[in-house]
Amino acid sequence: MNRWYRNGVIYSLDIETFQDSDDDGVGDLRGLTDRLDYLGRLGVDTIWLNPCHPSPRRDGGYDITDYYGIDPRFGTLGDFAELVSQADEAGLRIVLDLVVNHTSDEHPWFRSALSGRAAPHHDWYVWADREPADRWDGCVFPGSEEETWTYAEAVGRWYRHRFYRFQPELDVEHPAVRAELAKIVTFWLRLGVAGFRIDAAPFLIESRGRRDFGLLRQLRETVSWQRGDAVLLAEANVPEDELLEYFGTADDEASRATMLFDFRLNQALMLGLARGDAGPVRERLRRSPRLPGHAQWATFLRNHDEVDLGGLSSEERGDVLGRFGPEPHMQLYDRGIRRRLACMLEGDRRRLELAYSLLLTMPGSPVLRYGDEIGMGEDLALPERTAIRTPMQWSDGPNGGFSRAPAERLVAPLVEGGPFGYERVNVLGQRRDANSLLTWFERVLHTRKECPEIAVGRHEPVDGGPSEVLVHRAETAKGRMVFVHNLGSAGTCVRIPAEPDDRALAVFEDGAYDDRIDPAEVAIAGHGYRWIRLVTA
């Protein structure tokens, strides 16, 4: 099996906000295809597309009405096939969102279900004949949706929806539903996709008060049969003792998910950056469980949703909110922050580089959100999670180069004015600047690919030294690396682990340091970072 994902870099984007090719104000597949060279030059190798299926888009496309189609605003299935073909030529893979916990209430299945209890698709959804006792419990979006059950007068029953009420929940225990899901993944794999990001994975394994990984196992079997190297990347923000269950058992380690988002590491990174203290990251590295041989973490700083701080203590959460989201309108769902990282770090270039250097040296495959590479900002005037879903800023021209449509027809307003507006933060301007953040990203992503120890090595934190400095090592049978990151503002010196006959070679650094590295006294600037390879002399 080709485990390409173990040393990959994933780029997450919304088609509708990336590039408009036909001047209707909405990004589309042809626009994305035209930008593949940009993504290849950047250094990513996998494009994760947020939902692209037909949808009323009341929840960013996660309310799907047809799993076998492309939203007409984005193009056609032919356009999608062309995207996959061109991406393959450029050495890029396409991963789709698999949103099968729920459908839109406008999906033909649900409309059929509302026509009567004997309707063919009625039993495909989760129903209750009486008002459920847990009607007000467990909503994913508190403050925006309070109920998890809604009464359907047409059939005199309650249907479940742990997301919004316009997203009725599928009964994934139903044999016909499972058979349909197998058809869906087969359809898209046959069109050339390299795998799926499984939305809300924990809800797919909860079955009548117990956890059942049967569906995840069946999806794995279907995917492996159709394309042996395809990945299943599960979104599962679950307790520590449940994490490894999503990958599979020791006897059959490839039986479930291939990758899992590392929410615990994300929270440790945010806490460490907020406090200027490496302790949370050091502790996370120490406690992170060993994964099966096929498995991999997907690491991130910002994803397409809020920064979810639910796994932190109230004191820790308060520290992160106080530093990065102190105003109520910056927060979301009583658990997170709805800002872009560049804004949270006040556009400070040194701290941005530090944050992404930290991410890129952690065990796993990093996931970048579109616009991260140029330091895009957010629009807090937009509701909920859409604050960070603004059009890509390609230039300082009209509509930031995203579209030639009139501004009032754009799918979302661009970030304008101020330090993060498209007039100042854009690809074209940074492409012309040899010292821009975009240029830095291109260098660091290509450098990371030359350091397989990061992706597949065994990582260990190194004790000792100032609390604000993280020293950790990554080792394989073929190589050893040490990484030094200073989360504090003052420069200092640290000791790195090395054998007497080791030579320490600089691989990537935040600035100019002495050419000769003495492992007993390694200088590190405030908010600095150093990637060091150890070789036997």
At 344, which helix (H) or strand (E)? helix 341-344
Residue corresponding to tokens 């916990």 = 101
DSSP secondary structure letter of residue 102: B
Distance of CA 302 to the CA centre of its chain: 7
Q: Which of 59, 199, 319, 378 is catalytic?
A: 199
Q: Which of 153, 99, 102, 148 is nearest to 125 (CA)?
A: 102
Cβ-Cβ contacts under 8 Å for 59 (sequence gap 6 or more): 163, 164, 166, 167
- Helix, strand, coil percent values for the chain (each to nearest 5): 30, 20, 50
The CA distance from 104 to 88, in Å, is: 32
* Contact between residue 54 and residue 70 where contact means Cβ atoms under 8 Å apart: yes
Q: Which of 498, 509, 438, 497 is nearest to 463 (CA)?
A: 497
CB atoms within 10 A of CB 532: 22
Secondary structure (DSSP) of 458-517: EEEE---S-TTEEEEEEE-SS-EEEEEEE-SSS-EEE-----TTEEEEEEEESS---SS-
| Backbone dihedral angles phi then psi of residue 440, each to the nearest 5 degrees | -60, -45
* Contact between residue 15 and residue 74 where contact means Cβ atoms under 8 Å apart: yes
Please confirm, yes or no, whether 105 is among the known catalytic residues: no
**First-to-final CA distance of the chain:** 35
Handedness of CA 497, 502, 508, 509 (dihedral sign): positive
Q: Which of 303, 312, 228, 216 is nearest to 261 (CA)?
A: 303
Amino acid at 537: A
Residue 109's Cβ-side half-sphere holds a number of Cα atoms within 13 Å equal to 22
Q: Which of 270, 248, 271, 269 is nearest to 258 (CA)?
A: 248
Q: Which of 59, 235, 316, 510 is catalytic?
A: 235
At 461, which helix (H) or strand (E)? strand 458-461
Is 321 in a helix, a strand, or coil? helix
Greatest extent of the chain over all pairs of C-alpha atoms, in Å: 78
Structure tokens at 247: 């990958």
The CA distance from 424 to 208, in Å, is: 53
Please confirm, yes or no, whether 106 is among the known catalytic residues: no
Residue corresponding to tokens 């009209």 = 398
Positions annotated as catalytic residues are 199, 235
